[in-house]
Structures are given as C-alpha cells and as structure tokens.
Amino acid sequence: MSSELSDLRERMSKLSDADLLRMVNIEYKDFRAEALDIANEEIERRGILQYVSDNIVSPIDQRVSPIRAEMSLKVTYLLAAELISRSNFPNKHSLPTLYPPAFNNFGHQPIMNYELLLKIIWEVIEEIKLSAERQEKRRLPWILGSVVAALILLALGVFNEFPPLIFIAFVTSFILFYIGLQRIRKSIKKDVAEIRVKAIKQLVSLRWESNNAKVNRTIARELRRVGSGILGDEKIPVITVISNEQPFTGYGRLQAENLFICRPKEKDRGTLPSIDDIRKVVSNNITNKVMGLDIKEAAFGEVVVVHGDSLTIESKWLDEDKVPVLWIGKSELCDIQLIDPQASTRNYFAIQLLFPQYMTAATFFTRLFWAGNSASCQVAVTTLGPPTVDTDYLHSRLRKHEIEEDEEDYKIYLEKFNTNTNDEKAEAIRYLRFVRLWGRDKSPFQPDLNIKEIEKLSISSEKEATYGEYEEEYKKIIKESAVWPGRYYKASPNWRENNSLTFTTDFFGRPEIIASVKTLYDQISRAVLDTLDTLGFDISDYRDSEGNYSINAEKIDQLVIGETIHIKESKEPKKPDSD
C-alpha cells in the first residue's frame, strides 16, 4: 500500500496546477479519498490559490463561458461577504448548510457557486473558533493569579489576626478575575472583528485565498443535491415546484406570462404535424431568432418542471432517499410522462439572457401543447437579480468597524444639537452632523460574542444528528407516507434566491435591461407565432392583416423591481395542474 501511495504522490507532483485544481474542485467524484488528500497536500505544498478571479475554478462544467463563470464568482463573493458582515455572524440559524432539509434538495442555483460559498463561510468560522480557543487559554493564568492573590491576603489576615484582610482577599480575587475575564472577552471581540474585516476585504477585491484543506475536503465529499441550473448541457435540469406562485424555482421571480392558442387553418386540418415536431421547429426558430440579435450571453436548453404536490412516495422523480432529482439525461426526455404517469410533469424550452454588469438574468420558458386540436404555447418570463446588498454596503460595514475602534468618534451618537441658536456657523455644523448621523450604519459591526455557541459550530454537526432516532423516524415517514413528504416544507432552501432581488435597481441598468427583456419577449413571441403560421395554424388573433402583432409586450413594463425574490405561500388552496 505504501508503494502505491508513493507512486500516487509522484504522479500528483507531475500534474499541472490547473489539473490539480480541476481534480479537487470539479472531478472529485471520480477519485478516491486518498487521491484527493494527496492532491490537496500537493496544492498546499505549491501554495496555489484555489479561488482567485484571474483563474476561476468552479464545479460547474468547464464549457461555461468565462463571462458567466466570472459573474457567478462575483455573486458568490458578494453573498459570502454580506453574510460575514452581519452583526450576528456567525449565528447558527443564519448560516448556509451542507445538508438540505429532509426529503428536499437545495434546488438549482444559477449564476452562483454554492460549494464555494460554503467553503468561504466555514473557513472563516473555523478561523474564528481557533482564535477564540487561543484567547480562552489565557483565562487559566488569570484564575491562578486571582487565587494566589487571595491566598496571600488571606494568609496575611490570619497571620496578623486582621479579619478585614480576609474580606479584602475575596474582593480582590473577584476583581482580578473580572478584570481578566473582561480583557479576554475584549481581545476575542477584537480578533474576531479583524478576521471578519480581512475576509470581507478579500471578497470585495475578488480574491479569496483558500487555506483550510480539511473544510474543503469535507464540503467536496459531503455536498450533494444542489444544481447549477445550466441550460444546454448533457444533463437536463429538473425543477420540483413547491409553490404555485414560484413555478420555476431557482431561476427567479415569475414576472410575466402569456398564452397563445392557435386553431388549425381550414385547409390544413388533415395535415397537421405532431406536437413533438412542432416543438422542435419552434425551439430551432426561437434559437435562430435570438442568435440573430447578436446577444453574446444567451443560453438555450430544455427544462423539466414537476409539480411537487402530484408526487407519490414511490415516484421515479424521487431518489432512493425520497428526495427530488435535479437532473435527467437527454435520452429520458423523449417521453417524460413514462417516468411516472401519475406525476404532473411538463417539458419547457428555456432561453436565458445574462446581464453581467448588473448581475441579473432573465429566463424565458416556452411550452407547446395541444388544446383540443389547437396548438397552444405558454411563454413565461422570470428574472433573477443581484444580491440584496452591493459593495457600497460592504464598504459602509468596514467603515463601521473603523468607527467602533475610535471610541471618541463613536460619541457622536450622544451629542445633542442646540436648536435655539440662530448662529449661522452653528446651523451649518448642525446640518453637517445631521448628514453624518443619517449616513451612518446604525447596527454594530462587532457586538459581544457568545463563545460557547461559537465553539459548538461544526460543518458536519447536521450529519451527526441524523443517526439513531432521526434515522428511525426518517424510515417511519417513508413507510407511512403515501405522498412525497417534502411537499409540506414550503420554505425554500435556495440561498441564491433567498438573498437576491428580482431585478437590478441600478438607475441606468433598470431601463436598459427592461428594454432588452421586452425585445427578447417580442422576438420569441413572434418566432412562435410565425412558426405556427407556417405549420398550418391560424394566428389571426395575434397578427392582423397588416402584419401588426398583438402579444401583450406591455406586461414587461410592469416587472417587479427592488423586491426580494422570496414569496410567502398563498393562503388559497392549491389547484391541480389543469394540463
């Protein structure tokens, strides 16, 4: 075995930096744990930075365009920095997890690297824990010093028969212990703040230095059930709907939806093509139309949508743990209804448009189906905007840290303004102080810490809790359930959507993207109608004799902007899929 490991180390030493990074970050599922450990050791020996903006490494397929990969990296860094900048970081209940809720997955999280997010957050947490542990070790000398001082005074009091010294001994011991404890707490607080500041500055500058191989290996080995949502790959994304208001979970907020119903022309009633042929021709024409617009960052591909409430416990859309699958192969796409005849399942052709400058994506979902003998087409638009905070916010949090370090400057909150004076200089200063207070971040950067709770944090604690009684309860639910149990969990575990806006709020970017989305919606709708026209369907309800289209493009002008994507579940009872 030792000879085999030696040969393996020698082979690893001959690999290029890029090959090593690809092995541990992308192709890790194809290698044994021993090989990955040796590869990580070689990476550490060479001092390779695993995640930097100049050399993007991601578990996403390497055929992804550099612009999309760079956009994903920026979004991931911004989301990580925002979490680290929160006053309550690291709070157990607000951290991204390695394991999804029972019977659920993390969903598809396009334009983001969830694995990298986990690695960043948990590396920072481990560094905080290590710092706290070092500072906690300083407590023992203070305890011993307090005890020694108390014993000396106590001995003097007994020896000199001076009772007040006995009381002084106890008071002195308590005071010394309290002073030491406060100094240690203050030191821990300062160290944690500096660790967080360092991490935020690295992320804002788009350069993260990964330095905890153990955390990285744990996440690479354990993270499952999260999708990239990439279109046009060999694998087809599968979306399991858990909210009727959010039918395309992972791709953002549903913003607009339209339905075209075209009856066959009288002369073509007996020569209509099959629905599969119609779908192929429509999707090809849409692709050609969009490509003709010279849009560089556009992606095309199939997406399968499964209605979660229609799944039984034995559905083939669930894996061995009764968790919805995230992908199917292209070969399974030919007739998805055969996978589970009882499930409500539909196939969409999707077109995704990226706006890298504004970290926003718009995705169009089209679906062809029969309505009697009429060809019908559904066109839906979703938008996935940037994270809820930007770099300006992160800079304000860093500035907040600087202000908290300056105790004198912090006293501005206690200053009282004289409102009775008419002195022009006092008025001008009062206005400046008002501006100063108004623009200041009110939440503290580094409040007091609960060291005991921080020490309990562990990336693998959730897995440790799934043994014994939990495992037995899990099996009982599967045995007793007739339907998919995950349907009862309505809180989406999708980190990308839960921490993103529906649309960019940039003053100039907003109208630019709306115009682009409107143009694309118009072109897709026209491509659908024109294709149906050539295939023998009457589109006169949507195009008059002069060639003017009526496709409700004004819906795009009503996009929801500046709100978070997360939608609370409607109180109305759910209705089954009418298709």
pLDDT of residue 62: 42
CA dist 364 and 180 (Å) reads: 62
* Contacts of 46 by beta carbon, 8 Å cutoff, 6+ apart: 17, 20
* Domain spans of the chain, in order of start: 1-48, 235-389+477-558
Model confidence over 143-173: pLDDT tens digits? 556 666 666 655 655 555 556 655 665 666 6
Tell me the pairing of strands 374-384 and 51-52. unpaired
Rounded Cα distance, 20 and 42, in Å: 8
Render pLDDT for 361-383 as a digit per residue (tens, 0 to 9). Answer: 999 999 999 999 899 999 999 99
**Could you tell me how far CA 198 lies from the centroid of its own chain?**
22
Q: CA torsion, points 484, 489, 492, 495, in degrees to nearest 10?
A: -100
Q: For residue 295, what pLDDT band results from cuts at 50, 70 and 90?
A: confident
Sheet with 345-355, side-by-side order of all strands: 253-262, 374-384, 360-371, 345-355, 298-307, 235-241, 327-329
Burial class (CB in 10 A: 0-12, 13-18, 19+), 341: exposed
163 Cα distance to chain centroid:
65
And the tokens for 397? 């949090």
Whether cis (ω within 30° of 0) applies to the bond prior to 90 is yes
What mean pLDDT is reported for the chain?
A: 80
Query: Which amino acid appears at position 426 of this protein?
Result: A
The values of phi and psi at residue 491, to 5°, are -80, 115
Q: Name the β-bridge partners of 303.
A: 348
341 SS3 class: coil
Q: How deeply is 50 buried, as exposed, middle or buried, from its count of CB atoms within 10 A (0-12, 13-18, 19+)?
A: buried
- Mean pLDDT for 226-248 is 89
Can you tell me the distance from the alpha carbon of 2 to that of 425, in angstroms, rounded to the nearest whole number? 81
Q: Check: CB of residue 196 under 8 Å from CB of residue 124.
A: yes
* pLDDT at residue 140, rounded to an integer: 56
Residue 247: what are its φ and ψ, rounded to 5°? -75, -15
Pairing of strands 298-307, 235-241: parallel
Q: How many CB atoms lie within 10 A of CB 419?
A: 8
Which is more confident, 208 or 134? 208
Three-class DSSP category at 63? coil
pLDDT value for 571:
38
The top-scoring range by mean pLDDT among 123-132, 133-142, 395-404, 421-430 is 123-132
CB 226 within 8 Å of CB 352 = no
Kindly report the CA angle at 94 between 91 and 96, in degrees rounded to 5?
115
The listed range with the strongest mean pLDDT (55-64, 415-424, 539-548) is 539-548
d(CA 376, CA 278): 10
The reported pTM is 0.77
List the beta bridge partners of residue 277: none
Q: What is the pLDDT of residues 384-404, one digit of tens each?
A: 999 999 999 999 899 888 877
Rg over CA atoms, the chain: 30
Span 408-420, pLDDT tens digits: 444 544 454 444 4
